[in-house]
């Protein structure tokens, strides 16, 4: 039983969820209180995890649950961005009347699912975490149930995601059938690359995972769901599930199937090239900011997969750095979107940004920094994200992948520039309101400064990430 | 460690920019911002002069080197100067205050933002010229896109959006290939430190591809034919100060890059690609001079002339002779001054008459005699009349080219004649002749500050035309060592075969 203390964060989170649920049921009109309690419990969770940071490489529950530097770092990222998502969206959910007590509880259960996913070292544990996460997300997507788009997006996400979960389960059963175990380490011992059943299993599971991070060609749900869901949920969608899915990607590819990289490497390369190009090209014609960011996130996922394709520790570290920097940029971008408010209505079309720089110089400056960083222009943080990934790719002499990737950044730069053009070069419109929630301002300030000043001390992130050695 | 003078040069303008961001001006005149920007840029100029004075001109090594750990273990922040880069730093710090004076007195719309953009730009440009690590170089080189995009886009003319996009995407496209090459160099040689790379060299089998990747970036930035088309668009739409920055300094980054990286790091590939560069340079000289002859817009004409002048520069660099490379560096400095002055001169009449079309002018000399004189100096400087700095550069380049190939030199000399033709013809149509248009009669002669900045630019143009020694003296040792290094590499490679 002495092992229980290392899963203290998970236990704490489960208890919090139950307590808050009961609390919400028995006390009327407590949604605001529960929301704040949720934020506080996330902060406590973050502290608990930090405390665990020294623990390295422990397996518990019959080797099906792993606590190592990868798991702890990814959980910290997840919970850290969870805190910021909560901070940014409090005003939004009030104004849009979705501040029900279930909202924060669903977010917490989704985070619990992600934590299980990140630590899983077993197909069944992994699937449990995935479903816990997804079920909460289906409800969150359609949380604004009076809004047609929101219900549509929830349903769409549910149907397509259930399909992908089915494929994923099928893949799990194939692998179980051919290797005789669901445990990642046992699979490694029992499998050899000659078994076609296992290869099929890998393909099915990769399809399921690619769906979760919306990599091309399993991306169709992303734009609709991003646009339809309430913006607060979109923020959540754009960041957290991707961290969890990426760590599963890493663990799934590099623990049981590390030696079969000839089988899956081509798949990852295809997914990343297709996502990079499609994300860049399809975003050009978009008019809605949320749709645009959906396509942009498809592209960004392509870049982070690029690192995995390299098949080295450096590549994995590149991917992790990429996702870490990406989440900061996305949080910053969505914070800006929450600031586009006029008479209790939020604006989300690109045209609404027209001439923003004249009335709101600071907000526009942040957007400028964020967009150039998303485009990967040095010396902003987004450049370093790409730099780490391509360092790893070029080390493996995968020049084709590197050239395609960097050329698609040029295409992608075009649509980011278009937004900047609208903000800075076009005629101004009416002013937006400026009284924002303190948490929102704080998030925007912190993330913008991070992006802008990252180049002064880039070793910080690399040093942390370099401790993660999977292979 | 001594006082980090190079880092101070780099960081000072940014501090000024931050200061301007955080000062709130109560009225719309931005008095404090103006003074801060001017003061900071002048301070930086004085600092760079000081650097030039204490710089040891007889030493081959990089001086004032600062080497700090930056990206845990594998990339260091390394800056330093040699005889070549110090001249470009001086050019940058000299042009920036001139730009700021011109901006302060002509731009009314969002002046504060413009000053911030110029100061940030200065930081990045100085950074380019003194970085001694390829990654650091790339950061500064690409970072310059952001402020320049905004300068063209916010303060530009009618088609500013198109031009800004074209400028940005063209340069970005060229540069990403360079990034791939830089990362490859890291994995091939284990370092991106320029000084170390000079010592250990880069494997012969990789050089050609790497050279092409660097070339793709520098060729766009130079700009060389056929990727020069962004330049006329960008110049025409950019505000006067933007054009000045672009022509005087941004284009020089590429020429500097050719000398420092293409020739310095890949000598064997450079030798191999000499015919390609010669051909492109000759086309640039002859073709763009002819195009310039037909222009109706003054700024466009000067922009095309810049392409032609930069053609001379690339020609000179790839002659790999002492005269050729020295001439190229001299030509870049001289072109930096002359083109800045020409754009400012066009800006002067544009502010009064709001058109840049040549046919809308004529007979300016009767209403603006002072303007006629200074404009004459710059026109002559541009065509390379003996006694101006333009002559020294072109003369040295042609001398170097004659050593290498008689035919190439002869064709290039034709470019000099064409250069005289288009600039003098424009001058004649604008300044001489009879006044046809009524608006011209009411145009006033140069104001004090206009005269001041134009004279400030005219002094070095004439001074270095008569006495080029200080500049040549500063670059001589560095160029000699560059060529020595180049030749040893070549002989070694031949000996191996």
Interchain CB distance below 8 Å, B165 and A410: no
Min Cα distance B145 → chain A (Å) is 8
Confidence band, pLDDT 50/70/90 cuts, at residue B66? confident
Distance CA A467, CA B15 (A): 36
For residue B169, list chain A residues with Cβ-Cβ distance below 8 A.
Answer: 410, 413-414, 417
User: Which of B70, B72, B183 lies nearest to residue A390, judging by beta carbons?
Assistant: B183
Min Cα distance A163 → chain B (Å) is 39
Confidence band, pLDDT 50/70/90 cuts, at residue B29? low
The reply to whether B385 touches chain A by the CB within 8 Å rule is: no
Interchain CB distance below 8 Å, A390 and B139: no
Q: What is the 3-state secondary structure (H, E, C) of B161-216?
A: HHHHHHHHHHHHHHHHHHHHHHHHHHHHHCCCEHHHHHHHCCCHHHHHHHHHHHHH
For the cut 60, the answer to whether the pLDDT of residue B295 exceeds it is: yes
How many CB atoms are located within 10 Å of the residue A117 CB? 28
Q: Is B435 exposed, middle or buried (0-12, 13-18, 19+ CB in 10 A)?
A: middle
Alpha helices in A142-255 (DSSP H): 148-179, 184-190, 196-212, 221-228, 231-254
Interchain CB distance below 8 Å, A391 and B183: yes
The beta-strand segments (E) located in A307-420 are: 341-342, 345-346
For residue A391, list chain B residues with Cβ-Cβ distance below 8 A.
Answer: 183, 186
The reply to whether B71 touches chain A by the CB within 8 Å rule is: yes
For residue B160, list chain A residues with Cβ-Cβ distance below 8 A.
Answer: 425
pLDDT at B349: 85
Interchain CB distance below 8 Å, B176 and A424: no
Place of tokens 């993660």: A468
The reply to whether B46 touches chain A by the CB within 8 Å rule is: no
Min Cα distance B181 → chain A (Å) is 9
What is the residue-averaged pLDDT of chain B? 87
The residue of chain B nearest to residue A427, with distances taken between CA atoms, is B154
The reply to whether B164 touches chain A by the CB within 8 Å rule is: yes
Interchain CB distance below 8 Å, A377 and B184: no
Interchain CB distance below 8 Å, A424 and B153: yes
Please write the tens of the pLDDT for every residue from B141-179. Answer: 998 889 988 888 888 778 888 888 988 998 898 888 899
The reply to whether B209 touches chain A by the CB within 8 Å rule is: no
Q: What is the greatest pairwise CA distance in chain B?
A: 73
pLDDT at B490: 83
Confidence (pTM)? 0.92
pLDDT at B437: 79
User: Which of A379, A409, A463 lies nearest to residue B176, judging by beta carbons?
Assistant: A409
Q: What is the DSSP string of B59-82?
A: --S-EEEEEEEEETTTEEEEEEE-
The reply to whether B177 touches chain A by the CB within 8 Å rule is: yes
User: Which of B135, B140, B169 lies nearest to residue A414, judging by beta carbons?
Assistant: B169
Distances (CA, A) of B293 to A204, A393, B5, B356, B423: 65, 48, 45, 15, 8
- How many helical (H) and strand (E) elements, i.e. helices and strands, does chain A have? 19, 4
CB contacts under 8 A, B 119-148 vs A, are 135, 138-140, 142-143, 145-146
Q: Are B471 and B87 in contact (CB under 8 A)?
A: yes
pLDDT at B28: 60
Which ipTM score applies to this complex?
Answer: 0.90
Distance CA A90, CA A108 (A): 15
The reply to whether A180 touches chain B by the CB within 8 Å rule is: no
Burial readout B363-388 (b: 16 or more C-beta within 10 A, e: otherwise) = bbbebbeebbebbebbbbbbbbeeeb
pLDDT tens digits, chain A, 471 residues: what are they? 557 778 888 999 999 999 999 998 898 888 888 999 999 999 999 998 888 877 667 888 888 888 888 899 999 999 999 999 999 988 888 888 888 888 999 999 999 999 999 999 999 999 999 999 999 999 998 888 888 888 888 899 999 999 999 999 999 999 998 888 888 888 888 877 677 888 898 999 999 999 988 888 888 889 999 998 889 999 998 899 999 999 998 988 888 888 887 888 889 999 999 999 999 999 988 899 999 999 999 999 999 999 888 888 889 999 999 999 999 999 999 999 999 888 888 888 888 888 888 888 888 889 999 999 999 888 899 999 999 999 899 988 888 999 999 889 999 999 999 999 888 888 888 888 888 888 899 999 999 999 999 988 888 888 888 888 877
A107, A83, A145: which is closest to A446 by C-alpha? A83
For the cut 80, the answer to whether the pLDDT of residue B497 exceeds it is: no
Q: What is the mean pLDDT of residues B221-242?
A: 86
Q: Which of A285-294, A327-336, B197-206, B463-472 has the lowest mean pLDDT?
A: B197-206
CB contacts under 8 A, A 426-455 vs B, are 455
User: Which of B139, B161, B179 lies nearest to residue A455, judging by beta carbons?
Assistant: B139
User: Which of B143, B146, B161 lies nearest to residue A421, judging by beta carbons?
Assistant: B161
Min Cα distance A424 → chain B (Å) is 7
For residue A368, list chain B residues with Cβ-Cβ distance below 8 A.
Answer: 150
pLDDT at A100: 86
CB contacts under 8 A, A 345-404 vs B, are 368, 372, 377-379, 383, 387, 390-391, 394-395, 399, 402-403
Place of tokens 């710059």: B378
Structure-token pair, residue B133? 């690590």
For the cut 80, the answer to whether the pLDDT of residue B347 exceeds it is: yes
For residue B135, list chain A residues with Cβ-Cβ distance below 8 A.
Answer: 387
The reply to whether A6 touches chain B by the CB within 8 Å rule is: no
Report chain B's C-alpha Rg in angstroms.
22
Please write the tens of the pLDDT for every residue from B248-267. Answer: 888 889 899 999 888 888 88
The residue of chain A nearest to residue B73, with distances taken between CA atoms, is A459
């Amino acid at each position: 039983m002495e092992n229980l203390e290392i899963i203290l964060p998970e236990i704490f989170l489960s208890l919090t969820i139950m307590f808050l649920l009961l609390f919400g049921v028995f006390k009327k009109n407590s949604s605001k209180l529960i929301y704040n309690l949720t934020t506080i419990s996330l902060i406590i969770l973050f502290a608990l995890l930090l405390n665990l940071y020294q623990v390295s490489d422990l397996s518990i529950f019959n080797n099906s649950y792993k606590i190592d530097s990868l798991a702890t770092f990814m959980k910290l990222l997840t919970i850290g961005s969870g805190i910021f998502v909560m901070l940014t969206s409090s005003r939004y959910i009030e104004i849009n009347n979705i501040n029900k007590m279930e909202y924060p509880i669903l977010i917490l259960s989704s985070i619990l699912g992600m934590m299980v996913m990140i630590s899983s070292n077993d197909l069944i544990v992994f699937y449990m975490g995935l479903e816990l996460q997804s079920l909460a997300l289906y409800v969150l997507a359609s949380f604004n149930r009076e809004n047609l788009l929101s219900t549509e997006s929830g349903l769409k996400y549910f149907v397509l995601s259930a399909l992908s979960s089915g494929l994923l389960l099928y893949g799990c059963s194939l692998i179980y059938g051919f290797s005789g175990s669901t445990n990642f380490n046992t699979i490694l011992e029992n499998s050899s690359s000659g078994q076609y059943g296992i290869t099929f299993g890998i393909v099915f599971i990769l399809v399921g995972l690619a769906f979760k991070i919306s990599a091309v060609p399993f991306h169709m749900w992303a734009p609709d769901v991003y646009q339809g869901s309430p913006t607060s949920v979109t923020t959540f969608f754009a960041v957290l599930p991707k961290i969890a899915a990426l760590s599963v990607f890493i663990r799934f590819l590099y623990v049981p199937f590390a030696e079969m990289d000839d089988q899956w490497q081509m798949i990852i390369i295809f997914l990343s090239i297709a996502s990079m190009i499609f994300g860049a090209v399809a975003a050009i014609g978009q008019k809605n900011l949320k749709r645009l960011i959906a396509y942009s996130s498809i592209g960004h996922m392509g870049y982070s997969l690029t690192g995995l394709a390299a098949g080295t520790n450096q590549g994995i570290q590149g991917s992790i750095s990429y996702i870490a920097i990406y989440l900061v940029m996305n949080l910053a971008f969505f914070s800006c979107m929450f600031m586009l408010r006029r008479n209790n209505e939020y604006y989300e079309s690109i045209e609404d940004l027209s001439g923003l720089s004249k009335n709101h110089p600071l907000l526009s400056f942040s957007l400028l920094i964020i967009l150039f960083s998303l485009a990967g222009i040095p010396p902003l943080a987004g450049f370093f994200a790409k730099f780490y990934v391509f360092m790893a790719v070029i080390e493996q002499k995968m020049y084709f992948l590197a050239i395609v990737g960097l050329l698609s950044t040029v295409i992608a730069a075009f649509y980011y520039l278009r937004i900047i053009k609208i903000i800075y070069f076009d005629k101004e419109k009416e002013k937006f309101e400026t009284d924002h929630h303190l948490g929102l301002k704080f998030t925007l300030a912190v993330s913008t400064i991070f992006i802008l000043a990252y180049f002064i001390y880039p070793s910080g992130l690399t040093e942390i990430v370099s401790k993660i050695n999977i292979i | 460690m001594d006082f980090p003078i190079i880092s101070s040069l780099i960081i000072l303008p940014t501090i000024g920019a931050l200061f301007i961001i955080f000062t709130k001006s109560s009225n719309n005149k931005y008095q404090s911002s103006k003074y801060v920007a001017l003061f900071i840029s002048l301070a930086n100029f004085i600092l760079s002069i000081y650097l030039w004075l204490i710089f040891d001109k007889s030493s081959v090594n990089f001086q004032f080197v600062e080497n700090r750990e930056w990206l845990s273990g594998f990339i260091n922040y390394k800056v330093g100067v040699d005889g070549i880069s110090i001249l470009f730093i001086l050019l940058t710090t000299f042009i920036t205050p001139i730009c700021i004076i011109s901006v302060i007195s002509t731009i009314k719309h969002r002046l504060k933002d413009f000053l911030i953009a110029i100061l940030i730009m200065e930081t990045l440009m100085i950074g380019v010229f003194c970085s001694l690590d390829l990654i650091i170089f790339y950061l500064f080189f690409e970072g310059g896109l952001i402020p320049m995009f905004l300068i063209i886009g916010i303060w530009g003319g009618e088609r500013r959006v198109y031009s800004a996009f074209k400028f940005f995407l063209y340069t970005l496209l060229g540069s990403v290939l360079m990034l791939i090459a830089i990362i490859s160099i890291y994995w091939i040689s284990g370092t991106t430190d320029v000084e170390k790379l000079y010592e250990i060299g880069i494997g012969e089998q990789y050089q050609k591809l790497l050279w092409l990747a660097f070339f793709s970036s520098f060729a766009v930035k130079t700009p060389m034919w056929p990727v020069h088309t962004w330049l006329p668009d960008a110049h025409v739409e950019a505000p006067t100060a933007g054009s000045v920055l672009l022509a005087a300094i941004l284009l020089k980054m590429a020429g500097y890059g050719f000398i420092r990286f293409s020739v310095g790091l890949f000598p064997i590939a450079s030798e191999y690609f000499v015919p390609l560069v010669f051909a492109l340079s000759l086309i640039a000289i002859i073709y763009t001079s002819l195009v310039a002859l037909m222009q109706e817009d003054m700024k466009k004409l000067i922009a095309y002339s810049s392409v032609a002048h930069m053609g001379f520069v690339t020609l000179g660099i790839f002659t790999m002779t002492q005269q050729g490379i020295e001439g190229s560096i001299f030509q870049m400095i001289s072109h930096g001054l002359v083109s800045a002055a020409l754009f400012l001169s066009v800006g002067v009449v544009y502010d009064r008459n709001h058109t840049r079309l040549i046919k809308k002018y004529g007979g300016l000399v009767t209403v603006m005699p002072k303007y006629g004189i200074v404009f004459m100096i710059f026109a002559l400087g541009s065509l390379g009349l003996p006694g101006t700095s333009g002559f020294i550069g072109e003369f040295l380049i042609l001398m170097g080219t004659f050593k290498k190939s008689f035919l190439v030199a002869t064709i290039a000399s034709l470019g000099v004649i064409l250069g005289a033709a288009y600039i003098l013809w424009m001058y004649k149509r604008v300044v001489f002749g009879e006044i046809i248009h009524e608006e011209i009669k009411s145009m006033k002669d140069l104001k004090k500050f206009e005269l001041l900045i134009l004279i400030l630019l005219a002094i070095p143009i004439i001074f270095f035309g008569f006495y080029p020694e200080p500049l040549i003296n500063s670059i001589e040792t560095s160029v000699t060592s560059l060529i020595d290094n180049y030749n040893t590499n070549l002989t070694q490679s031949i000996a191996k075969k």
